[in-house]
């Protein structure tokens, strides 16, 4: 039986996944890269899942509220600022997913840009969506050779009262993520 660990940052982002023939575990990681990496690492040490699925919300500039992106490519926007020093700031989780045959029919591809700040103003960044946890989780999973994927619901357009819109759209995000996982998509 497939063992799946589902991560989410705050309770408002949680949506239950009801797949048969899978053992599904959940961990609320908290907000930000450090908390997220810490709590994920703690659970991975005990659980040893077959795959980690991160679900949550994100902001965007070029997309619409309500869009859902399946992210396999991640950018650390904090490290990207000092990329000239040769530090890693990008990673792709596709290889491990492909090797295991996971999520190949999840086609809503996007690039997730992660940083330790909640973006409220339009800045120069790469990617489709921005969050505060996914890169850190992808990094931990890559180091442990565990397949990782992130599914993000766009709650706000950066620069347009982002914090208020994020809060207002949490219920919509939970509903849409539950629908995505339990109705739209086949099991991984």
pLDDT tens column, 1-54:
999 999 999 999 999 999 988 999 999 999 999 999 999 999 999 999 999 999
pLDDT tens digits along 123-172 = 667 788 999 999 999 999 999 999 999 999 999 888 776 566 777 888 89
Residue 163, domain extent = 2-184
Question: Structural domain tally of the chain?
Answer: 1
pTM beyond 0.85, yes or no: yes
Contact 148, 141 (CB under 8 A): yes
With a pLDDT cut of 70, the percent of the chain lying above it is 87
Contact 130, 115 (CB under 8 A): yes
123: domain CATH number is 3.40.50.1580
3-state helix, strand and coil shares in percent for the chain, rounded to the nearest 5: 35, 30, 35
Pick from 41, 109, 98, 107: which is nearest to 72 by CA? 109
């Amino acid at each position: 039986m497939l063992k799946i660990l589902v991560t989410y940052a705050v309770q408002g982002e949680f949506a239950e996944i009801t797949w048969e023939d899978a053992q599904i575990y959940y961990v609320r990681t908290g907000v930000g890269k450090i908390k997220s990496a810490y709590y994920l690492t703690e659970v991975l040490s005990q659980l040893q899942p077959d795959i980690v699925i991160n679900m949550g919300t994100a902001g965007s500039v070029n997309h619409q509220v309500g869009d859902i992106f399946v992210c396999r490519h991640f950018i650390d926007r904090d490290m990207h600022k000092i990329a000239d020093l040769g530090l890693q700031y990008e990673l792709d989780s596709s290889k491990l997913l492909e090797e295991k045959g996971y999520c190949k029919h999840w086609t809503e591809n996007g690039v997730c840009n992660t940083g330790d700040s909640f973006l409220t103003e339009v800045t120069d960044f790469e990617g489709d969506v921005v969050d505060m946890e996914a890169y850190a989780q992808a990094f931990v999973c890559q180091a442990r050779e565990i397949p990782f994927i992130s599914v993000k619901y766009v709650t706000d357009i950066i620069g347009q009262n982002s914090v208020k819109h994020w809060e207002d759209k949490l219920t919509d995000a939970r509903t849409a993520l539950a629908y995505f996982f339990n109705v739209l998509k086949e099991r991984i």
